[in-house]
Amino acid sequence: MKILIYGINGKMGKILYDAITSENKDEVLCGVDKFGDGKYFDCPVYTDCFDISEKPDCIIDFAVKDAINDYLPHAVENSVPCVIAATGHDEKDLAFIEKAAERIPVFKSGNMSLGINLLIKLVEIASSVLGDKADIEIVEQHHRRKADAPSGTALMIADAIKKTIPDETFVIGRNESSGKRQPGDLGISSVRGGTVAGKHEVFFFMNGEAVSVKHEAEDRTVFANGSIAAARFIVAKEKGLYNSKDLFN
């Protein structure tokens, strides 16, 4: 594959570039980044998608959430599949992504890790077994520079639980105004600090016992490798919106 990395000058952009070039299976055709130059890279780096002359096989986005407004119109115009690995998109963003997916194949996931997707499967099983017998809490930890909270992964986990237990109500970031825990509360707590790549733990608290399921990313390269796998998956697909369940199932 010939890949365009959107957000190539960012931390994950550089990790993705190194992951692709070290494998020697695919090629970084070019990068796009509104900030910084391309001195680190052995490929052209542009500030806008419409400046590029190359035709990539796939765009992988590890930039900020608003980047979709730059590369998705370009991708639709040029029929380029996209992997959206950035997080923090709101309802308006999601509608924009869904509209693009009516024309091109788009892969979007809050987390590209195989381990996280296994955790979600285990959480779905635990939720179906325990149901209303447990108080469920999600705790996620990330590095100090992560902008969105809760993380996209925590929301993926919460959505998976809610599909099994529809009456659960998200309680994000407990404080004194939250009051005491109510039946059906699904707590989501965020911790930010240091260089933590990503930790997610789901607790099922019952009377007299508790069960927890945990995933810890030791290196952000796992997310880069997951996005490459997603790109290989999406380039062979027809138009539509795909996610991790499509890739890992």
For the domain that residue 131 is a member of, what is the CATH number? 3.30.360.10
CB 200 within 8 A of CB 154: yes
CB 106 within 8 A of CB 79: no
74 has catalytic annotation: no
| Both structure tokens of 203 | 């607790």
Identify residue 222 by its one-letter amino acid code: V
**Host H or E run for residue 229:** helix 221-234
179-191 pLDDT tens trace: 899 999 999 999 9
Catalytic residue chosen out of the listed positions 14, 142, 200, 215: 142
**pLDDT at 110 (0 to 100):** 83
Q: Do 39 and 160 fall into the same domain?
A: no
What is the total count of domains within the chain? 2
**CATH at residue 36:** 3.40.50.720
Q: Do 62 and 98 fall into the same domain?
A: yes
Q: Do 68 and 10 fall into the same domain?
A: yes
> By three-state DSSP, how is residue 171 classified?
strand
Give the domain range for residue 143.
114-217
Q: Do 202 and 234 fall into the same domain?
A: no
CB 8 within 8 A of CB 33: yes
Has residue 23 got a pLDDT over 90? no
Report percent pLDDT > 90 for the chain.
78
CA distances from 164 to 42, 147, 157, 211, 236 (A): 47, 29, 11, 17, 31
Backbone angles phi, psi at 61, to 5 degrees: -110, 115
Instruction: Name 199's bridge partners.
Output: 141, 216
Q: Do 118 and 212 fall into the same domain?
A: yes
Rounded mean pLDDT of 77-105? Answer: 95
Q: Do 232 and 190 fall into the same domain?
A: no
Give CA–CA dist 208/199, Å, rounded. Answer: 26
Give CA–CA dist 158/179, Å, rounded. Answer: 21
Global pTM exceeds 0.85: no
Q: Do 76 and 38 fall into the same domain?
A: yes
Q: Do 100 and 166 fall into the same domain?
A: no
**pLDDT at 112 (0 to 100):** 86
Grade residue 39 by pLDDT with cuts at 50, 70 and 90.
confident
**pLDDT at 35 (0 to 100):** 81
Catalytic residue chosen out of the listed positions 34, 121, 143, 146: 146
Q: Do 6 and 38 fall into the same domain?
A: yes
Give CA–CA dist 205/192, Å, rounded. Answer: 24
Give CA–CA dist 99/26, Å, rounded. Answer: 29
Rounded mean pLDDT of 197-226? Answer: 95
215 has catalytic annotation: no
The vertex-151 CA angle with 246 and 223, nearest 5°, equals 55
Has residue 248 got a pLDDT over 80? no
Q: Do 149 and 208 fall into the same domain?
A: yes
Lowest mean per-residue pLDDT among 37-41, 91-95, 211-215: 37-41
Q: Do 202 and 227 fall into the same domain?
A: no
Instruction: Name 32's bridge partners.
Output: 6, 46
| Both structure tokens of 228 | 């490459």
Rounded mean pLDDT of 107-120? Answer: 90
Give CA–CA dist 223/238, Å, rounded. Answer: 24
Rounded mean pLDDT of 80-87? Answer: 94
Q: Do 119 and 192 fall into the same domain?
A: yes
**65-96 in b/e burial notation, b at 16+ Cβ within 10 A?**
bebbebbbebbbeeebbbbbbbbbbeeebeeb
Alpha-carbon torsion, ordered 184, 193, 148, 205, to 10 deg = -10
